[in-house]
């Protein structure tokens, strides 16, 4: 009877027993990061049209972080994930114009994992520098299979650009320093190469796979059979293609999960899924009640999915603590048993999520997370844009300053000095969100305060009722802004005369 009682007690404590002692367990790690998918672009988050059964499987079978923040655009988020600190501290204030390059002084997650015995591979999107000294192979990755710029076929003034003529079908991909002309749809190509590499290294040492899809980033081009699934269900070819691109990612994820089981490594492999910023085309259909979208400091610009599945080790559970992309690095370092050098410890400002993976109800101190969209014009004085599209999150509060200023991306293919176009202005209620012409450079603050626990859609400004909260968070923002200024190392860098991917491609193929 005593033994039966003990057994029942142990079963009741399943979560803590199963996940206990995660530090140093050295799982294989597969990290899937999609490009421009929003929080609402999962059926498990309530999307009424898009069905994502394999993403939903991660949601149902893993630890799901339900208040997880990223940056408003792609390169900033990617740098924060790989360094454990805010993108401005990595020198990244844009996605182009040499301001997307991850400072060489930063230590990356891949470098740290290698010290713990991992082999590392990246497949798909990098977007942290297209010059050779910035490539993943110079930042700790053993295997590199990437496109250039922020998207397949993109080209901007300076060094940020993909191989000439690249399309979503049959793209030329840089594989360990040499271009390969592939066959097939880009997402299928990336998953297939990642699976091939995993099969070649599994069982020899733990591996880290950084699988970052170009999809569903615009231009919205899906396989015809995937787009056809949404014809007649949603209006507009953009949304049909966007959902088709996500359907394709989901199907590839399902096949990869099946391979892990077939190879007998499913229980040795942690699979993590995230999206890199707020939603885009899909917000026309569903935005999970969030305000705004990609490129804004509102929750619709910075809330992301964060799903962690590790069968036999992590029990399915929601986590309602405030977490962020900067927590990714220290979490994986702890799981890998990596010993961080003193300078790396100083670099990392995120927290390890291991306590929450072990116990979703673990104590978790409140914190302040800072957002700034950046994207001010080339060679502009950042001080003039201090209060442009920025915010501060705590568990309860979101202090938002959504002034819009001139900036944004130059026109695709532009030559010479970049010509700016209007950046998104902070929207009103979700149904009225729109891109509008920008106003003058905002030199002063205009804070709005939202209680995101009571008002997750950020519809009611309560700043007048809580002046002490506004003062506290605004003061913290001032100190944070001052702290990042010495680290904005890319601001005055002259534009490279030519895209290095173009130069290498033409040299290789004699064009």
Q: What is the average per-residue pLDDT within 199-208?
A: 98
Q: Indicate the pairing of strand 28-34 with strand 207-212.
A: parallel
Q: What is the pLDDT of residues 354-400, one digit of tens each?
A: 999 999 999 999 999 999 999 999 999 999 999 999 999 999 999 99
Q: Closest Cα to residue 433, out of 261, 244, 216, 282?
A: 282
Q: Is 430 helix (H, G, I), strand (E, B) or coil?
A: helix
Is the per-residue pLDDT at 170 higher than 70?
Answer: yes
Confidence of residue 64 (pLDDT cuts 50, 70, 90): very high
Rounded-to-integer distance, Cα 282 and Cα 286, Å: 6
Residue 3 has pLDDT above 90, yes or no: no
Q: Residue 145: its pLDDT value, please? A: 99
pLDDT digits 0-9 by tens, 437-455: 333 455 567 999 999 999 9
Q: What Rg, from alpha-carbon coordinates, does the chain have? A: 22
Q: Taking the model in full, what pTM does it have?
A: 0.91
Q: Is the pLDDT of residue 419 over 50?
A: no
491 vs 485: CA distance, rounded Å? 10
CATH class of the domain comprising 22-358: alpha beta
Question: What proportions of the chain, in percent to the nearest 5, are helix, strand and coil?
Answer: 35, 15, 50
Percent of the chain with pLDDT strictly greater than 70:
88
User: How many C-alpha atoms does 364 have within 13 Å on its Cβ side?
Assistant: 25
* Interacting residues of 365 by C-beta distance below 8 A, sequence separation 6+: none
Tokens of 153: 């076929």
Tokens coding 118: 């991992």
CATH of 369-487 given 3.40.390.10, 2.130.10.10, 3.30.1120.10, 2.30.30.230: 3.30.1120.10
How far is 8 from 168, CA to CA, in rounded Å?
A: 54
How many residues can be counted in the chain?
511
User: Is the N-terminal amide bond of 26 cis, ω within 30° of 0?
Assistant: no
- pLDDT of 55 > 80? The answer is yes
pLDDT band at residue 180 using 50, 70 and 90 as cut-offs: very high
- pLDDT of 99 above 90: yes
pLDDT at position 510 is 86
3-state secondary structure string across 17-85:
HHHCCCCCCCCEEEEEEECCCCCCCCHHHCCCCCCCHHHHHHHHHCEEECCEECCCCHHHHHHHHHHCC
How does DSSP classify residue 215? T
For the segment 14-37, the average pLDDT, to the nearest whole number, is 83
Assess contact for 208 and 29: CB atoms under 8 A.
yes
What's the mean pLDDT when you consider all of the chain? 91
pLDDT at 152 over 60: yes
Q: What is the pLDDT of residue 443?
A: 53
| 141 touches 127 (CB < 8 A) | no
Report whether pLDDT(411) > 80. no
Q: Does 316 score more than 70 pLDDT?
A: yes
Residues whose CB falls within 8 Å of the CB of residue 26, separated by 6 or more in sequence, listed in order: 116, 117, 118, 206, 335, 336, 337
Look at residue 20 in the predicted model and tell me its pLDDT: 57
| Dihedral sign computed on CA atoms, order 48, 53, 59, 61 | positive
CB 304 within 8 A of CB 276: yes
Helix (H, G, I), strand (E, B), or coil: what is residue 285? coil
**pLDDT, tens digit (0-9, with 9 covering 90-100), for 243-277:** 999 999 999 999 999 999 999 999 999 999 999 99
Q: Indicate whether 413 pLDDT > 50.
A: no
Domains of the chain by residue range:
22-358, 369-487
Full DSSP string of 347-358? H--S---HHHHH
pLDDT of the residue at 402: 85
């Amino acid at each position: 009877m005593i033994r039966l009682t003990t057994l029942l007690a142990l079963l009741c404590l399943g979560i803590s027993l199963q996940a206990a002692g995660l530090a140093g367990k050295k799982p294989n790690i597969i990290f899937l990061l999609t490009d421009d998918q929003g929080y609402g672009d999962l059926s498990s988050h309530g999307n009424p049209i898009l069905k994502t059964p394999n993403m939903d499987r991660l949601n149902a079978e893993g630890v799901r972080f339900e208040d997880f923040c990223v940056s408003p655009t792609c390169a900033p988020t990617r740098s924060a994930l790989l360094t454990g600190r805010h993108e401005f501290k990595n020198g990244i204030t844009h996605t182009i114009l040499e301001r997307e390059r991850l400072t060489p002084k930063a230590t990356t997650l891949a470098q740290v994992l290698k010290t713990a015995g991992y082999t590392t591979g990246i497949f798909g999107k990098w977007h942290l520098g297209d010059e050779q000294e910035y490539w993943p192979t110079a930042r700790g990755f053993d295997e590199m299979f990437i496109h250039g710029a922020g998207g397949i076929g993109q080209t901007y003034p300076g060094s940020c650009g993909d191989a000439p003529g690249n399309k979503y079908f049959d793209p030329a991909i840089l594989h360990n320093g040499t271009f390969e002309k592939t066959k097939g749809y880009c997402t299928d190509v990336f998953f297939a190469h990642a699976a091939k590499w995993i099969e070649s290294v599994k069982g020899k040492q733990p591996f880290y796979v950084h699988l970052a899809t170009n999809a569903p980033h615009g231009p919205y081009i899906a396989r015809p059979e995937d787009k056809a699934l949404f014809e007649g269900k949603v209006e507009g070819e953009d949304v049909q293609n966007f959902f088709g691109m996500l359907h394709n990612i989901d199907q590839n994820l399902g096949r990869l999960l099946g391979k892990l089981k077939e190879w007998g490594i499913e229980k040795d492999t942690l699979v993590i899924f995230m999206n890199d910023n707020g939603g885009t085309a899909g917000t026309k259909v569903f935005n999970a009640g969030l305000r705004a979208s990609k490129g804004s400091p509102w929750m619709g610009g910075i809330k992301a999915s964060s799903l962690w599945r590790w069968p036999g080790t992590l029990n399915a559970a929601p986590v309602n603590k405030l977490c962020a992309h900067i927590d990714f690095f220290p979490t994986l370092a702890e799981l890998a048993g990596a010993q961080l050098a003193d300078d790396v410890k100083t670099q990392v400002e995120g927290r390890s999520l291991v306590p929450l993976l072990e116990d979703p109800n673990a104590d978790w101190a409140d914190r302040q997370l800072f957002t700034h969209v950046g994207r001010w014009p080339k060679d502009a004085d950042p001080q003039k844009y201090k209060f442009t599209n920025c915010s501060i999150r705590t568990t309860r509060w979101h202090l938002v300053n959504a002034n819009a200023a001139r900036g944004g991306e130059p026109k695709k293919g532009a030559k010479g000095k970049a010509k700016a176009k209007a950046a998104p202005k902070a929207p009103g209620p979700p149904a009225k969100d729109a891109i509008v012409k920008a106003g003058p450079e905002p030199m002063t603050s205009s804070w709005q305060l939202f209680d995101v626990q009571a008002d997750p859609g950020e519809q009611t400004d309560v700043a007048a009722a809580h002046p002490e909260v506004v003062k506290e968070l605004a003061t913290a923002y001032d100190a944070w802004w001052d702290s990042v200024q010495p680290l904005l190392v890319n601001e005055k860098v002259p534009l490279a005369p030519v895209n290095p991917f173009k130069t290498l491609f033409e040299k290789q193929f004699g064009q």
